[in-house]
């Protein structure tokens, strides 16, 4: 019966999705060391905010999380001196959040480690499988009719920009090459 099969795989998918998310967050936090995955994802949300100034609401929308969760992320990063917070000139109820020079430096280091982490966790995936996975996850995100408001949903892969992109992500390229070389070596 198709309904029973759909229910079985829906339950299995939900459990697996939460388990994978938790595992990725735990392993990512360990790999990134002085910044968490959630904090790392907040940085591009701030960088891409209008005028480079974000609000708690903006960060929450970009990350698909609650305002309380976004505030916790911002507070932790402010304590590390990665962010500065000032009263908003446009909305007296809001604050403007900007990245400090220390935050920019941490983001650069974090980007290198993120590239290594991505190469490691997606080692066994082909580009086509990653594209399918991404498409399915975006479809799942829209289950409630709300479209993603993140910083990557309007991006399409452009092969003409591949060399430019890889220039900024040399650690990903290096790790993928190392993994490929290990894979093609005979077992010791």
The answer to whether residue 58 scores a pLDDT higher than 80 is yes
Whole-model pTM?
0.75
Express each pLDDT in 84-134 by its tens digit: 999 988 888 889 999 999 998 888 888 888 888 888 899 899 999 999 999
DSSP track, 117-156: HHHHHTTT--HHHHHHHHHHHHHHHGGGSPPP-SSSTT--
Mean pLDDT of the chain: 83
3-state helix, strand, coil in the chain (%, to 5): 70, 5, 25
Query: For 58-72, 91-105, 125-139, 165-179, which range has the lowest pLDDT when averaged over its residues?
Result: 165-179
Rounded to an integer, what is the distance from CA 42 to the centroid of its chain?
A: 8
The answer to whether residue 180 scores a pLDDT higher than 70 is no
The answer to whether residue 186 scores a pLDDT higher than 60 is no
Which residue ranges form the domains of the chain, and what is each CATH number?
Answer: 2-183 (1.10.10.10)
- pLDDT of 26: 94
Element (H, E) at 187: none
- pLDDT of 166: 61
The answer to whether residue 181 scores a pLDDT higher than 80 is no
The answer to whether residue 20 scores a pLDDT higher than 90 is yes
Distance between CA 45 and CA 150 in Å, rounded? 8
């Amino acid at each position: 019966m198709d309904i029973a099969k759909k229910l079985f795989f829906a339950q299995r998918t939900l459990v697996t999705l939460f388990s994978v998310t938790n595992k990725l967050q735990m392993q990512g936090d360990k790999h990134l060391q002085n910044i968490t995955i959630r904090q790392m994802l907040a940085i591009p949300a701030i960088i891409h905010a209008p005028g480079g100034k974000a609000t708690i609401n903006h960060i929450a929308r970009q990350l698909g999380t609650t305002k309380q969760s976004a505030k916790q992320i911002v507070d932790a990063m402010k304590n590390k001196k990665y962010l500065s917070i000032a009263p908003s000139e446009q909305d007296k109820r809001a604050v403007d959040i900007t990245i400090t020079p220390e935050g920019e430096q941490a983001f650069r280091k974090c980007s290198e480690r993120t590239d290594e982490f991505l190469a490691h966790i997606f080692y066994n995936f082909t580009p086509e499988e990653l594209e399918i996975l991404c498409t399915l996850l975006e479809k799942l995100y829209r289950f409630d009719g709300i479209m993603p408001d993140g910083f990557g949903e309007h991006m399409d892969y452009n092969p003409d920009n591949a060399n430019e992109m890889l220039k900024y992500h040399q650690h990903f390229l290096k790790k993928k090459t190392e993994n490929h070389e290990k894979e093609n070596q005979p077992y010791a």
